[in-house]
Structure 1
Amino acid sequence: MSVKKIYLVRHGQTDFNVQNIVQGSGVDSDLNEKGRQQAEQFFAAYRHLPFDKVYTSVLRRTHQSVRGFLELGLPHEQHAALNEISWGVREGTRITPEEDAEYQGVLDQWNRGETFARLTGGESPDEVAARQRPFIELLKSRPEEENVLICMHGRAMRVLLCQLLNYPLTRMDSFEHRNLCLYKLHYTGSMFTVRNFLDVTHLE
């Protein structure tokens, strides 16, 4: 079997990112000017690659982040499985670990292995992982797609990387992310390996 190359990126910057407002899956925001620039820089760096398929979440900020590739007419599928984690009633509010005890408490639970924990009305990492698993199986089942571009969201990307690389979800935060950062992975038919970790050279 040939090696499947997966280019996994987080969406570009939004005004909510700048303001430290949680978006989650319930806030369907647009890229801001810098985010659009990041998308253009990524496209300029990788437009030469023969992508067989582009996968995104159903949220606009992922579509806008790979717009250049979509405008080339590349095959595209959107999957709710790639949506960001839901932060429940806290979506659209400004919460940070330093300022919000409830939010920090849930993050602490995850680090202790209590990945079933969630904010009120939101999702747990366990639930995100469960909805991602059918997509992972779909990805594995398509060997004809040798070069794949996936655009998704920060926390959900951390969960997905844990699953692809067989890490426990307690290791989520090992996978740092920035807007329009790239993780490149290879899949040999039996295992995934990381080739590029938090690559932002295309933004420099």
Structure 2
Amino acid sequence: MSRSAETGRFPSPVTADDLDLAVRLAVASLRNAPQAAWEGKAGSLEWDCWETVEHLSDDLFAYAVQLGPRTPPLEGEVPFVWESRRPGGPANAVHANRAAGPAGLLQVLEASGALLVAMVRTTSPQTRAYHVYGISDAEGFAAMGIVETLVHTHDLAEGLGLAWSPPADLCSRVLARLFPNAPKTTDPWPTLLWATGRAELPGHPRLSTWRWDGTPRT
């Protein structure tokens, strides 16, 4: 397990409260977006901003349901149907009704986030479930959900013309949990963007490929 650069102690675990905070901050920021901006591209992604929120909602939903069965699967995903609405669009099980507008889209995001928060709160720490980046536990899925939320809100903020800078301590905890080999002496938020292929760091060029390690830290 990695140590905190600021304190020299082992970092505190990622919790359901951390995930709840990440989703609440993201939704609060996205509510400030101009309605006409939702059809524009989300940062460096090939998806528009609406599709990106659907994708984020789908990530949170998928992590929640992966923990849901009495015996969670260890060799694959719970077999929902994921499908794209257009060529090149994200393959989701979750799609928002466009007639509900951006307010409805953000309700879908809130609801999906709440599902994962609830599962993390109620799942035994000994439970394990499949993820393509390593069989993980409830804390790991919480951390994954936070990373998805923070970095996709970054993509969305770029596309929607919003400011977005999440709390440093939140970034530090998910870096320790999922990216233990990331630089320890750089600011946590830029480091998380670097670790997910979205930015450079001094002495560390932008990554062209990346992945986290979701396996439990025992």
Q: TM-score, normalised by structure 2?
A: 0.24
**Larger relative contact order, structure 1 or 2 (CA cutoff 8 Å, min sep 6):** 1
Q: TM-score, normalised by structure 1?
A: 0.25
Where is the strand percentage greater, Structure 1 or Structure 2? 1
